[in-house]
Structure 1
Amino acid sequence: MREPATTSDTAEPATACGTAANLLTDNPELYEARFPDPDRLAGRWAEDTLRSHGAGQRVLDLGCGTGRDAAHLHRAGRTVTGADLSEAMLTYARTHHPGPDYLAADLREFALADREFDAVVCLDSALLYCHTNAELDGFLRSVRRCLAAGGLLVAEMRNGAFFLGRTDLLDAPRVDAFTWQGTAYRSTTTLSVDRTAQLLRRTRVWTAHDGSAPVEQRSAWRLLFPQELRHVLAGHGFEVLALYDGPGPRTDPPWHEGAAPGTATDADRLHLVARLLPTD
């Protein structure tokens, strides 16, 4: 899935965790109209990160959505596999963003027979659709199985620590509007923190001026904290090489070529680079 949006909004999940019918992920063209990324900022950030950490050529893009970032990595010369659970997204990606090999996979637990990768990329908070510890363990076990020795995990996601005492993104609904194929769409998005489940819950109501009934959709992200993330990764045999809040493709100001990673983990995004350590 992809979410080229501001820091207070995100794209709909590409059925990455078995979600039901979804207006955007069931209509990939509408998705790209709502979240345009003409400069391929997320793909460029991912390629720069892979290159700067010496990643090999074989890349798995987990939660690839419409395939924009996977195709950018392919054009950069990498051998790319894009994986997503949404068949609508995969069909669209094969047609509109060709080059990578696209296949269906559930990021919470997957096995890609006879495929080995030098890096796994998981952008746009896709990792956070692992809501439970068991799902997060399943994701990391699966990543470990398909990574070559010394392979990299590169992820970009929301930062659970940002919501400790902050309500910037919770105080009021966010309203967005755009027009696609002559129809004006409006979304009203409300975020709330479920502290018991450690989830950031989202309710989004869609309306359109074509007279169709409003549609309410719900989703959630796991809120992971920086030290918690380090601990979980270490338990699965990964060494964290970089963990910082910005700059990145969805920060303000956004990442640009030549920008150095920050040293804090305080803002609303986290950017992770971890290496799989050799086994004894």
Structure 2
Amino acid sequence: MTPTTVGSAAASVRNLLTDNPELYETRFPDPERLAGRWAEDCLRRHGAGPRVLDMGCGTGRDAAYLHGTGREVTGADLSEAMLAHARTHHPGPAYVRADLHSFALGRGIFDAVVCLDSALLYCHTNDQLGGFLDSCRQALAPGGVLIAEMRNGAYFLGRTDLLDAPTRNAFTWQGAVYRSTTTLTVDHTAQLLRRTRVWTVDDGSPSVEQHSAWRLLFPQELRHLMAAHGFEVLELHDGPGPRTEPPWREGLSPGSTADADRLHVVACRTAP
């Protein structure tokens, strides 16, 4: 996609960012591979084996980083555009198409499943969450670990700072200035954080409005779900992590609270 086609492309893309991986990486740069480094730190601390599934791998940056540490990595995503980008720009891992709501990539063939950047929260219903956790349990060898990083539903209990006003962002890609205005609202009945994002480009093309949502999970709810699907929670905290302020860095230990706007969980697949 070129900058001049943003308006005409609206009807043919589900999400402007995830359907355009280069645009995504420009909007969300991670030159220090902080997310991958945090995940590797978790894997090492819990003695995870080398076989890693990065579920919801996106552009492949984190999968490629983990591959570079010597791990045998499979990156899985539903977006063909993301997978094609990953194979070209972040080679090394094996990349496969899979739906995180339910996937069958082999039984007991991974030592760890990594699910970063709130990908787990695209499981909107209890059935979808159960399908994800059951699929992870099937894919993991006994004692394997699940590592996930996401927004924290508990943050929105009594807080409105992320809801009070739209968030505006601007960046340049391929010579054009892209501007986004993002509004978050809480759907209490569905327990979803709904996002409306309006895109404009300085080339005069029509604006694009797109919608998405994350499930809001609370720490104790997540503990219950993990236990119900055969996992023992080893860590559950709000930071430090790759997207917290201040961000995680090497040598920092996990926190003991779950109050801030990010949630981090490490869980172990229980026997049998």
TM-score, length basis structure 2: 0.94
Q: Please give the alpha-carbon distance, in whole angstroms, between the structure 1 residues aligned to 2:122 and 2:230.
A: 21
Q: Please give the alpha-carbon distance, in whole angstroms, between the structure 2 residues aligned to 1:156 and 1:93.
A: 21
Give the number of aligned pairs: 261
Indicate the residue corresponding to 1:262 in structure 2. Answer: 255
Structure 2 residue ranges without an equivalent (≥5): 1-11
Indicate the residue corresponding to 1:215 in structure 2. Answer: 208
One-letter identity of the residue aligned with 1:97: H
1:23, distance to aligned residue in structure 2 (A): 1.1
Indicate the residue corresponding to 2:75 in structure 1. Answer: 82
CA contact (8 A) 2:107 2:140 kept: no
TM-score, length basis structure 1: 0.92
CA contact (8 A) 2:106 2:138 kept: no
Indicate the residue corresponding to 2:95 in structure 1. Answer: 102
How big is each residue's C-alpha offset from its partner over 1:207-237, in whole Å with a ceiling of 9 and x where there is no partner? Answer: 0001111000100000000000000100111
1:168, distance to aligned residue in structure 2 (A): 1.1
One-letter identity of the residue aligned with 1:44: R
Q: Which shifted more, 114-123 or 195-204?
A: 114-123
Indicate the residue corresponding to 2:172 in structure 1. Answer: 179
Structure 1 residue ranges without an equivalent (≥5): 1-18
CA contact (8 A) 2:115 2:149 kept: yes
Indicate the residue corresponding to 1:165 in structure 2. Answer: 158
Root mean square deviation, CA, Å: 1.1
Q: Please give the alpha-carbon distance, in whole angstroms, between the structure 2 residues aligned to 1:57 and 1:239.
A: 20
How big is each residue's C-alpha offset from its partner over 1:26-61, in whole Å with a ceiling of 9 and x where there is no partner? Answer: 111111111110000000000001001100000000
1:20, distance to aligned residue in structure 2 (A): 5.6
Q: Identify the match of residue 193 of structure 1 among 186, 191, 205.
A: 186
Q: Please give the alpha-carbon distance, in whole angstroms, between the structure 1 residues aligned to 2:106 and 2:268.
A: 22
Q: Please give the alpha-carbon distance, in whole angstroms, between the structure 1 residues aligned to 2:229 and 2:73.
A: 24
How big is each residue's C-alpha offset from its partner over 1:3-36, in whole Å with a ceiling of 9 and x where there is no partner? Answer: xxxxxxxxxxxxxxxx962211111111111111
**Percent of aligned pairs with the same amino acid:** 75
Q: Identify the match of residue 68 of structure 1 among 44, 47, 61.
A: 61
* CA 114–160 in structure 1, closer or farther in 2 if over 3 Å, else same: closer
Q: Identify the match of residue 36 of structure 1 among 11, 26, 29.
A: 29
Q: Please give the alpha-carbon distance, in whole angstroms, between the structure 2 residues aligned to 1:25 and 1:161.
A: 27
Q: Please give the alpha-carbon distance, in whole angstroms, between the structure 1 residues aligned to 2:178 and 2:13.
A: 21
Q: Please give the alpha-carbon distance, in whole angstroms, between the structure 2 residues aligned to 1:269 and 1:225.
A: 11
1:94, distance to aligned residue in structure 2 (A): 0.2
| 4+ residue runs over 6 A deviation | none
Q: Please give the alpha-carbon distance, in whole angstroms, between the structure 1 residues aligned to 2:186 and 2:16.
A: 23
One-letter identity of the residue aligned with 2:142: A
Q: Please give the alpha-carbon distance, in whole angstroms, between the structure 1 residues aligned to 2:131 and 2:155.
A: 25
Q: Please give the alpha-carbon distance, in whole angstroms, between the structure 1 residues aligned to 2:164 and 2:13.
A: 28
Q: Please give the alpha-carbon distance, in whole angstroms, between the structure 2 residues aligned to 1:212 and 1:38.
A: 30
How big is each residue's C-alpha offset from its partner over 1:55-107, in whole Å with a ceiling of 9 and x where there is no partner? Answer: 00000000000000000000011000000000000000000000000000000
User: Does residue 136 of structure 2 align to residue 143 of structure 1?
Assistant: yes
SS, match of residue 24 in structure 1: coil
Indicate the residue corresponding to 1:152 in structure 2. Answer: 145
Indicate the residue corresponding to 2:270 in structure 1. Answer: 277
